[in-house]
Protein backbone atom coordinates (compact mmCIF):
# COMPACT_ATOMS: atom_id res chain seq x y z
CA UNK A 1 0.00 0.00 0.00
CA UNK A 2 1.23 3.51 -0.82
CA UNK A 3 1.70 5.40 2.42
CA UNK A 4 1.83 9.16 2.15
CA UNK A 5 3.16 9.73 5.68
CA UNK A 6 6.37 7.90 6.53
CA UNK A 7 5.31 4.80 8.54
CA UNK A 8 8.47 5.08 10.65
CA UNK A 9 7.26 8.48 11.86
CA UNK A 10 3.89 7.01 12.85
CA UNK A 11 5.61 4.14 14.67
CA UNK A 12 7.86 6.56 16.51
CA UNK A 13 4.88 8.70 17.50
CA UNK A 14 3.01 5.65 18.77
CA UNK A 15 6.03 4.41 20.72
CA UNK A 16 6.06 7.73 22.56
CA UNK A 17 2.35 7.36 23.45
CA UNK A 18 2.46 3.64 24.34
CA UNK A 19 3.03 3.76 28.12
CA UNK A 20 0.28 6.33 28.68
CA UNK A 21 -2.12 4.49 26.38
CA UNK A 22 -1.56 1.14 28.10
CA UNK A 23 -2.10 2.69 31.56
CA UNK A 24 -5.31 4.48 30.48
CA UNK A 25 -6.61 1.42 28.61
CA UNK A 26 -5.99 -0.91 31.56
CA UNK A 27 -7.69 1.51 33.96
CA UNK A 28 -10.73 1.75 31.68
CA UNK A 29 -10.77 -2.04 31.20
CA UNK A 30 -10.99 -2.48 34.98
CA UNK A 31 -13.76 0.07 35.33
CA UNK A 32 -15.79 -1.48 32.49
CA UNK A 33 -15.24 -4.98 33.87
CA UNK A 34 -16.94 -3.91 37.10
CA UNK A 35 -19.91 -2.88 34.91
CA UNK A 36 -19.85 -6.27 33.18
CA UNK A 37 -18.49 -4.86 29.92
CA UNK A 38 -15.63 -6.46 27.99
CA UNK A 39 -13.36 -3.71 26.70
CA UNK A 40 -11.91 -5.95 24.00
CA UNK A 41 -15.33 -6.44 22.41
CA UNK A 42 -15.81 -2.65 22.33
CA UNK A 43 -12.37 -2.07 20.85
CA UNK A 44 -13.06 -4.64 18.13
CA UNK A 45 -16.38 -2.89 17.45
CA UNK A 46 -14.62 0.49 17.23
CA UNK A 47 -12.17 -0.98 14.71
CA UNK A 48 -15.04 -2.16 12.50
CA UNK A 49 -16.73 1.25 12.48
CA UNK A 50 -16.23 3.20 9.27
CA UNK A 51 -17.46 6.33 7.59
CA UNK A 52 -16.75 7.95 4.24
CA UNK A 53 -14.68 11.05 3.52
CA UNK A 54 -16.47 13.67 1.42
CA UNK A 55 -14.04 14.53 -1.37
CA UNK A 56 -15.12 18.17 -1.17
CA UNK A 57 -14.22 18.28 2.54
CA UNK A 58 -10.45 18.18 1.98
CA UNK A 59 -10.52 21.70 0.54
CA UNK A 60 -11.54 24.85 2.39
CA UNK A 61 -15.31 25.08 2.03
CA UNK A 62 -16.10 28.72 2.31
CA UNK A 63 -19.42 30.40 2.96
CA UNK A 64 -21.73 32.17 0.55
CA UNK A 65 -19.80 35.34 1.40
CA UNK A 66 -16.25 34.27 0.74
CA UNK A 67 -13.77 31.48 0.60
CA UNK A 68 -10.37 31.91 2.20
CA UNK A 69 -8.24 29.11 0.75
CA UNK A 70 -5.63 27.42 2.88
CA UNK A 71 -2.10 26.51 1.80
CA UNK A 72 -1.46 23.38 -0.22
CA UNK A 73 -5.08 22.66 -1.02
CA UNK A 74 -5.76 19.83 -3.47
CA UNK A 75 -6.32 21.20 -6.96
CA UNK A 76 -7.84 18.13 -8.57
CA UNK A 77 -9.38 14.81 -7.66
CA UNK A 78 -6.03 12.97 -7.62
CA UNK A 79 -4.67 15.41 -5.05
CA UNK A 80 -7.90 15.06 -3.07
CA UNK A 81 -7.32 11.31 -2.98
CA UNK A 82 -3.80 11.90 -1.69
CA UNK A 83 -5.20 13.95 1.22
CA UNK A 84 -7.82 11.25 1.86
CA UNK A 85 -4.98 8.72 2.02
CA UNK A 86 -3.38 10.74 4.85
CA UNK A 87 -6.68 10.74 6.74
CA UNK A 88 -7.07 7.00 6.23
CA UNK A 89 -3.49 6.27 7.25
CA UNK A 90 -3.53 8.31 10.46
CA UNK A 91 -7.10 7.80 11.71
CA UNK A 92 -8.15 4.44 10.21
CA UNK A 93 -11.83 5.19 10.49
CA UNK A 94 -12.49 6.58 7.00
CA UNK A 95 -11.51 3.93 4.44
CA UNK A 96 -13.73 5.20 1.61
CA UNK A 97 -14.21 8.41 -0.36
CA UNK A 98 -17.48 9.86 -1.59
CA UNK A 99 -17.02 11.66 -4.90
CA UNK A 100 -19.10 14.56 -6.19
CA UNK A 101 -19.71 14.97 -9.93
CA UNK A 102 -18.81 16.84 -12.01
CA UNK A 103 -16.35 18.32 -9.47
CA UNK A 104 -14.45 15.03 -9.29
CA UNK A 105 -14.82 13.89 -12.88
CA UNK A 106 -11.91 11.81 -14.12
CA UNK A 107 -11.00 8.54 -15.75
CA UNK A 108 -12.67 5.94 -13.50
CA UNK A 109 -9.91 3.36 -14.10
CA UNK A 110 -7.22 5.85 -13.08
CA UNK A 111 -9.23 6.97 -10.05
CA UNK A 112 -9.78 3.40 -8.98
CA UNK A 113 -6.12 2.54 -9.39
CA UNK A 114 -5.02 5.56 -7.34
CA UNK A 115 -7.54 4.84 -4.59
CA UNK A 116 -6.66 1.15 -4.40
CA UNK A 117 -3.01 2.08 -4.16
CA UNK A 118 -3.82 4.00 -1.00
CA UNK A 119 -6.05 1.24 0.35
CA UNK A 120 -9.12 3.41 -0.24
CA UNK A 121 -12.48 2.47 -1.74
CA UNK A 122 -15.31 4.56 -3.14
CA UNK A 123 -18.52 5.15 -1.25
CA UNK A 124 -21.73 6.78 -2.52
CA UNK A 125 -21.46 9.15 -5.45
CA UNK A 126 -23.18 12.54 -5.44
CA UNK A 127 -24.82 14.40 -8.30
CA UNK A 128 -24.83 18.16 -8.66
CA UNK A 129 -27.74 19.99 -10.24
CA UNK A 130 -27.56 22.93 -7.85
CA UNK A 131 -25.09 24.95 -9.89
CA UNK A 132 -24.36 25.45 -13.57
CA UNK A 133 -21.23 23.99 -15.13
CA UNK A 134 -19.21 25.51 -17.97
CA UNK A 135 -20.64 24.58 -21.33
CA UNK A 136 -23.93 23.33 -19.91
CA UNK A 137 -26.86 23.68 -22.33
CA UNK A 138 -29.54 24.72 -19.81
CA UNK A 139 -29.37 26.65 -16.53
CA UNK A 140 -30.57 25.39 -13.14
CA UNK A 141 -31.32 28.94 -11.95
CA UNK A 142 -35.02 28.10 -11.65
CA UNK A 143 -34.66 24.48 -10.62
CA UNK A 144 -33.40 21.18 -11.94
CA UNK A 145 -35.49 18.06 -11.36
CA UNK A 146 -38.53 20.29 -10.67
CA UNK A 147 -37.98 22.75 -13.51
CA UNK A 148 -40.95 23.82 -15.60
CA UNK A 149 -38.77 23.18 -18.65
CA UNK A 150 -38.73 19.61 -19.91
CA UNK A 151 -35.27 20.21 -21.41
CA UNK A 152 -33.85 21.28 -18.05
CA UNK A 153 -35.40 18.29 -16.27
CA UNK A 154 -34.05 15.99 -18.96
CA UNK A 155 -30.55 17.43 -18.56
CA UNK A 156 -30.70 17.02 -14.76
CA UNK A 157 -31.97 13.44 -15.02
CA UNK A 158 -29.27 12.57 -17.56
CA UNK A 159 -26.58 14.00 -15.26
CA UNK A 160 -27.78 11.70 -12.46
CA UNK A 161 -27.76 8.73 -14.84
CA UNK A 162 -24.20 9.66 -15.88
CA UNK A 163 -23.25 9.74 -12.17
CA UNK A 164 -24.59 6.20 -11.79
CA UNK A 165 -22.44 5.04 -14.72
CA UNK A 166 -19.34 6.69 -13.22
CA UNK A 167 -20.15 5.23 -9.81
CA UNK A 168 -20.52 1.74 -11.26
CA UNK A 169 -17.08 2.03 -12.84
CA UNK A 170 -15.69 3.04 -9.43
CA UNK A 171 -17.34 0.22 -7.49
CA UNK A 172 -19.83 2.47 -5.72
CA UNK A 173 -23.25 1.15 -4.66
CA UNK A 174 -25.35 4.25 -4.34
CA UNK A 175 -26.27 7.71 -5.52
CA UNK A 176 -27.08 10.62 -3.19
CA UNK A 177 -29.40 13.20 -4.70
CA UNK A 178 -29.77 16.61 -3.13
CA UNK A 179 -31.44 19.36 -5.11
CA UNK A 180 -31.57 23.02 -4.17
CA UNK A 181 -34.88 23.37 -6.01
CA UNK A 182 -37.50 25.54 -4.40
CA UNK A 183 -39.06 28.97 -4.33
CA UNK A 184 -38.10 32.32 -2.84
CA UNK A 185 -41.58 33.84 -3.05
CA UNK A 186 -45.05 32.68 -2.12
CA UNK A 187 -46.78 31.92 -5.38
CA UNK A 188 -43.53 31.36 -7.27
CA UNK A 189 -44.21 27.62 -7.34
CA UNK A 190 -47.29 25.55 -7.29
CA UNK A 191 -46.13 23.61 -4.24
CA UNK A 192 -47.79 20.36 -5.24
CA UNK A 193 -46.88 20.72 -8.89
CA UNK A 194 -43.17 21.16 -8.06
CA UNK A 195 -43.14 17.92 -6.09
CA UNK A 196 -45.01 16.10 -8.85
CA UNK A 197 -42.33 17.17 -11.33
CA UNK A 198 -39.63 16.11 -8.85
CA UNK A 199 -41.14 12.65 -8.59
CA UNK A 200 -41.53 12.31 -12.36
CA UNK A 201 -37.82 13.14 -12.76
CA UNK A 202 -36.70 11.03 -9.80
CA UNK A 203 -38.54 7.99 -11.22
CA UNK A 204 -36.38 8.16 -14.34
CA UNK A 205 -33.23 8.18 -12.17
CA UNK A 206 -34.60 5.36 -10.04
CA UNK A 207 -35.23 3.26 -13.15
CA UNK A 208 -31.55 3.61 -14.10
CA UNK A 209 -30.33 2.21 -10.75
CA UNK A 210 -28.55 -1.15 -10.91
CA UNK A 211 -30.24 -3.89 -8.86
CA UNK A 212 -27.71 -3.68 -6.03
CA UNK A 213 -27.77 0.11 -5.79
CA UNK A 214 -29.68 2.49 -3.56
CA UNK A 215 -30.77 6.06 -4.21
CA UNK A 216 -30.42 8.33 -1.18
CA UNK A 217 -32.74 11.32 -0.99
CA UNK A 218 -31.22 14.15 1.04
CA UNK A 219 -33.62 16.73 2.37
CA UNK A 220 -32.80 20.25 3.55
CA UNK A 221 -35.05 22.77 5.23
CA UNK A 222 -33.97 25.89 3.37
CA UNK A 223 -31.18 27.49 1.36
CA UNK A 224 -30.70 28.22 -1.47
CA UNK A 225 -34.51 28.44 -1.65
CA UNK A 226 -35.66 30.60 1.25
CA UNK A 227 -39.42 30.32 1.08
CA UNK A 228 -40.26 26.76 0.07
CA UNK A 229 -37.73 24.02 -0.59
CA UNK A 230 -39.16 21.12 -2.58
CA UNK A 231 -37.50 18.37 -0.49
CA UNK A 232 -37.53 20.30 2.78
CA UNK A 233 -38.05 17.71 5.47
CA UNK A 234 -37.94 14.05 6.39
CA UNK A 235 -41.66 13.67 5.77
CA UNK A 236 -41.32 14.74 2.14
CA UNK A 237 -38.18 12.63 1.81
CA UNK A 238 -39.99 9.62 3.27
CA UNK A 239 -43.00 10.12 1.00
CA UNK A 240 -40.77 10.35 -2.07
CA UNK A 241 -38.63 7.34 -1.07
CA UNK A 242 -41.84 5.36 -0.54
CA UNK A 243 -43.33 6.47 -3.85
CA UNK A 244 -40.15 5.57 -5.73
CA UNK A 245 -39.71 2.09 -4.28
CA UNK A 246 -37.49 -0.15 -2.14
CA UNK A 247 -34.21 1.08 -3.65
CA UNK A 248 -34.90 4.66 -2.52
CA UNK A 249 -34.05 5.68 1.04
CA UNK A 250 -33.74 8.85 3.08
CA UNK A 251 -30.45 10.51 3.94
CA UNK A 252 -30.24 12.56 7.13
CA UNK A 253 -27.82 15.48 7.16
CA UNK A 254 -27.67 16.64 10.77
CA UNK A 255 -27.61 20.32 9.75
CA UNK A 256 -30.67 20.20 7.50
CA UNK A 257 -33.40 20.65 10.10
CA UNK A 258 -35.11 23.50 11.90
CA UNK A 259 -33.38 24.55 15.14
CA UNK A 260 -34.27 22.32 18.12
CA UNK A 261 -35.68 19.56 15.92
CA UNK A 262 -35.51 16.18 17.65
CA UNK A 263 -33.26 14.54 15.06
CA UNK A 264 -32.86 11.29 16.98
CA UNK A 265 -36.62 10.83 16.76
CA UNK A 266 -36.49 11.27 12.98
CA UNK A 267 -33.78 8.62 12.94
CA UNK A 268 -35.99 6.27 14.97
CA UNK A 269 -38.97 6.85 12.68
CA UNK A 270 -37.04 6.27 9.46
CA UNK A 271 -35.39 3.16 10.90
CA UNK A 272 -38.76 1.79 12.04
CA UNK A 273 -40.18 2.02 8.54
CA UNK A 274 -37.05 0.74 6.76
CA UNK A 275 -36.23 4.01 5.04
CA UNK A 276 -33.14 5.18 6.91
CA UNK A 277 -30.51 5.20 4.17
CA UNK A 278 -27.63 7.08 5.67
CA UNK A 279 -26.13 10.18 7.23
CA UNK A 280 -24.16 13.27 6.53
CA UNK A 281 -22.57 14.01 9.90
CA UNK A 282 -21.70 17.54 10.90
CA UNK A 283 -22.82 19.94 13.61
CA UNK A 284 -24.66 23.22 13.72
CA UNK A 285 -25.77 26.00 16.02
CA UNK A 286 -28.18 27.95 13.83
CA UNK A 287 -28.77 26.30 10.46
CA UNK A 288 -26.83 24.35 7.90
CA UNK A 289 -23.60 25.50 9.51
CA UNK A 290 -21.57 22.44 8.42
CA UNK A 291 -19.43 22.70 11.56
CA UNK A 292 -17.29 19.78 12.69
CA UNK A 293 -19.25 16.75 13.93
CA UNK A 294 -19.60 16.80 17.71
CA UNK A 295 -18.20 20.31 18.05
CA UNK A 296 -21.44 21.96 19.23
CA UNK A 297 -23.75 19.27 20.56
CA UNK A 298 -21.94 15.96 21.15
CA UNK A 299 -24.87 14.75 23.28
CA UNK A 300 -27.20 14.97 20.27
CA UNK A 301 -24.72 12.93 18.26
CA UNK A 302 -24.71 10.33 21.03
CA UNK A 303 -28.53 10.25 21.10
CA UNK A 304 -28.58 9.66 17.33
CA UNK A 305 -26.22 6.72 17.79
CA UNK A 306 -28.31 5.48 20.68
CA UNK A 307 -31.20 5.11 18.21
CA UNK A 308 -28.88 3.50 15.67
CA UNK A 309 -27.71 0.98 18.30
CA UNK A 310 -31.34 0.21 19.10
CA UNK A 311 -32.14 -0.27 15.40
CA UNK A 312 -29.08 -2.48 14.90
CA UNK A 313 -30.19 -4.64 17.83
CA UNK A 314 -33.74 -4.95 16.46
CA UNK A 315 -32.92 -5.38 12.78
CA UNK A 316 -29.52 -7.10 12.86
CA UNK A 317 -27.27 -7.27 9.82
CA UNK A 318 -30.01 -5.93 7.53
CA UNK A 319 -29.58 -2.50 9.14
CA UNK A 320 -26.61 -0.92 7.37
CA UNK A 321 -26.93 2.84 6.96
CA UNK A 322 -24.26 4.67 4.98
CA UNK A 323 -22.17 7.00 7.12
CA UNK A 324 -20.19 9.95 5.93
CA UNK A 325 -19.14 13.42 7.01
CA UNK A 326 -20.39 16.53 5.23
CA UNK A 327 -18.64 19.58 6.63
CA UNK A 328 -17.29 22.92 5.51
CA UNK A 329 -13.89 23.73 6.97
CA UNK A 330 -13.26 27.45 6.99
CA UNK A 331 -10.89 28.15 9.88
CA UNK A 332 -9.10 24.82 10.34
CA UNK A 333 -6.86 22.55 8.30
CA UNK A 334 -9.46 20.33 6.58
CA UNK A 335 -7.40 17.17 7.13
CA UNK A 336 -7.25 17.86 10.88
CA UNK A 337 -10.97 18.62 11.02
CA UNK A 338 -11.93 15.47 9.09
CA UNK A 339 -9.77 13.22 11.25
CA UNK A 340 -10.96 14.64 14.54
CA UNK A 341 -14.62 14.75 13.41
CA UNK A 342 -14.48 11.12 12.32
CA UNK A 343 -13.13 10.22 15.74
CA UNK A 344 -16.00 12.17 17.37
CA UNK A 345 -18.54 10.14 15.36
CA UNK A 346 -16.72 6.93 16.28
CA UNK A 347 -16.77 8.06 19.92
CA UNK A 348 -20.55 8.51 19.85
CA UNK A 349 -20.87 5.06 18.28
CA UNK A 350 -18.83 3.42 21.08
CA UNK A 351 -20.61 5.40 23.81
CA UNK A 352 -23.95 4.24 22.41
CA UNK A 353 -22.68 0.65 22.40
CA UNK A 354 -22.04 1.11 26.15
CA UNK A 355 -25.69 1.85 26.96
CA UNK A 356 -27.09 -0.84 29.24
CA UNK A 357 -30.16 -1.62 27.08
CA UNK A 358 -31.67 -4.12 29.51
CA UNK A 359 -31.48 -1.57 32.35
CA UNK A 360 -32.88 1.14 30.09
CA UNK A 361 -35.86 -1.04 29.12
CA UNK A 362 -36.40 -1.92 32.79
CA UNK A 363 -36.55 1.77 33.80
CA UNK A 364 -38.78 2.62 30.84
CA UNK A 365 -41.28 -0.11 31.67
CA UNK A 366 -41.46 1.12 35.27
CA UNK A 367 -41.87 4.73 34.19
CA UNK A 368 -38.69 5.65 36.03
CA UNK A 369 -37.81 8.61 33.86
CA UNK A 370 -34.93 9.74 36.04
CA UNK A 371 -33.09 6.42 36.02
CA UNK A 372 -33.77 5.93 32.32
CA UNK A 373 -32.14 9.27 31.58
CA UNK A 374 -29.29 8.45 33.96
CA UNK A 375 -28.68 5.18 32.14
CA UNK A 376 -28.04 7.11 28.93
CA UNK A 377 -25.92 9.72 30.72
CA UNK A 378 -23.85 7.03 32.39
CA UNK A 379 -22.78 5.69 28.99
CA UNK A 380 -22.35 9.18 27.54
CA UNK A 381 -20.13 10.34 30.42
CA UNK A 382 -17.77 7.37 30.09
CA UNK A 383 -14.49 8.49 28.57
CA UNK A 384 -14.02 5.92 25.81
CA UNK A 385 -10.96 7.75 24.46
CA UNK A 386 -8.51 4.93 25.32
CA UNK A 387 -10.67 2.48 23.31
CA UNK A 388 -10.52 4.72 20.23
CA UNK A 389 -6.78 5.26 20.62
CA UNK A 390 -6.15 1.54 21.06
CA UNK A 391 -8.28 0.76 18.00
CA UNK A 392 -6.14 3.14 15.95
CA UNK A 393 -2.80 1.91 17.24
CA UNK A 394 -3.72 -1.71 16.63
CA UNK A 395 -4.69 -0.85 13.06
CA UNK A 396 -1.35 0.86 12.47
CA UNK A 397 -2.77 4.40 12.62
CA UNK A 398 -1.62 7.20 14.90
CA UNK A 399 -2.39 7.34 18.62
CA UNK A 400 -3.00 11.08 18.22
CA UNK A 401 -3.77 11.67 14.52
CA UNK A 402 -3.55 15.47 14.65
CA UNK A 403 -0.27 15.54 16.59
CA UNK A 404 1.27 12.96 14.26
CA UNK A 405 -0.01 14.84 11.19
CA UNK A 406 1.56 18.06 12.43
CA UNK A 407 4.84 16.29 13.19
CA UNK A 408 4.87 14.98 9.61
CA UNK A 409 4.64 18.57 8.24
CA UNK A 410 2.45 17.31 5.37
CA UNK A 411 0.70 20.63 4.87
CA UNK A 412 4.00 22.48 4.62
CA UNK A 413 5.21 20.02 1.98
CA UNK A 414 1.98 20.49 0.02
CA UNK A 415 2.19 24.27 0.31
CA UNK A 416 5.31 24.04 -1.82
CA UNK A 417 4.16 21.18 -4.05
CA UNK A 418 0.72 22.61 -4.85
CA UNK A 419 0.94 26.31 -5.61
CA UNK A 420 -2.54 27.79 -6.05
CA UNK A 421 -3.75 28.12 -9.62
CA UNK A 422 -5.08 31.45 -10.83
CA UNK A 423 -8.84 31.35 -11.13
CA UNK A 424 -9.15 27.95 -9.46
CA UNK A 425 -12.26 27.75 -7.37
CA UNK A 426 -12.96 25.28 -4.66
CA UNK A 427 -15.78 22.86 -4.37
CA UNK A 428 -18.92 24.03 -2.72
CA UNK A 429 -20.90 22.82 0.24
CA UNK A 430 -23.87 20.50 0.22
Question: Least distance (Å) from Mn ion to the CB of residue 221?
Answer: 12
Question: Least distance (Å) from Mn ion to the CB of residue 253?
Answer: 4
Question: Least distance (Å) from Mn ion to the CB of residue 178?
Answer: 6
Q: Give 322 or 360: the residue with its C-beta nearer to Mn ion.
A: 322
Q: Give 42 or 52: the residue with its C-beta nearer to Mn ion.
A: 52
Question: Least distance (Å) from Mn ion to the CB of residue 290?
Answer: 8
Largest CA distance in the chain: 66
Q: Give 77 or 177: the residue with its C-beta nearer to Mn ion.
A: 177
Question: Least distance (Å) from Mn ion to the CB of residue 175?
Answer: 14
Q: Give 229 or 375: the residue with its C-beta nearer to Mn ion.
A: 229
Which residues bind to Mn ion, rule: CB under 5 A? Answer: 253, 280, 326, 430
Q: Give 82 or 253: the residue with its C-beta nearer to Mn ion.
A: 253
Chain centroid offset of residue 76 CA: 21
Q: Are strands 182-183 and 228-229 parallel, antiparallel or unpaired?
A: antiparallel
Question: Least distance (Å) from Mn ion to the CB of residue 99?
Answer: 14
Q: How would you write the chain as a 3-class SS string?
A: CCCCCCHHHHHHHHHHHHHHHHHHHHHHHHHHHHCCCCHHHHHHHHHHCCCEEEHHHHCCCCCCCCCCCCCCCCCCHHHHHHHHHHHHHHHCCCCEEECECCCCCCCHHHHHHHHHHCCCEECCEECCCCCCCCCCCCCCCCCCCCCCCHHHHHHHHHHHHHHHHHHHHHCCCEEEECCCCEECCCCCCCHHHHHHHHHHHHHHHHHCCCCCCEEEEECCCCCCCCCEECCCCHHHHHHHHHHHCCCEEEEEECCCCCCCCCHHHHHHHHHHCCCEEEEEECECCCCCCCECCCCCCHHHHHHHHHHHHHHHHHHHHHCCCEEEECCCCCCCCHHHHHHHHHHHHHHHHHHHHCCCHHHHHHHHHCCCHHHHHHHHHHHHHCCCHHHHHHHHHHCCCCCCHHHHHHHHCHHHHHHHHCCCCCCCCCCCCC
Question: Least distance (Å) from Mn ion to the CB of residue 56?
Answer: 10
Question: Least distance (Å) from Mn ion to the CB of residue 428?
Answer: 11
Q: Give 289 or 297: the residue with its C-beta nearer to Mn ion.
A: 289
Q: Torsions phi, psi of 81, nearest 5? A: -65, -35
Q: Give 73 or 326: the residue with its C-beta nearer to Mn ion.
A: 326
Question: Least distance (Å) from Mn ion to the CB of residue 429?
Answer: 8
Q: Give 310 or 326: the residue with its C-beta nearer to Mn ion.
A: 326
Q: Give 125 or 355: the residue with its C-beta nearer to Mn ion.
A: 125
Q: Give 279 or 302: the residue with its C-beta nearer to Mn ion.
A: 279
Question: Least distance (Å) from Mn ion to the CB of residue 334?
Answer: 16
Amino acid sequence: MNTVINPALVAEHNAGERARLDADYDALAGMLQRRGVDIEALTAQAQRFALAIPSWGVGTGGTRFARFPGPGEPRNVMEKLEDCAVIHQLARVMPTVSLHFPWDAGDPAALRQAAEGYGLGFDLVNSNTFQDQAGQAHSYKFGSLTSHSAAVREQAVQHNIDCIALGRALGSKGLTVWVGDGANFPGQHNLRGALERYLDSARLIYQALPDDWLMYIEHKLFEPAFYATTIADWGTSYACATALGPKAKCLVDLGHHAPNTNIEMIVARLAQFGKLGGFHFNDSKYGDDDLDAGSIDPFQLFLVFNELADAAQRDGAAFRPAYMLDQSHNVTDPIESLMSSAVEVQRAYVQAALVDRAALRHHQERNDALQAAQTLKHAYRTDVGPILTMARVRAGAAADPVACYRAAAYREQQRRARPPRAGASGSGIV
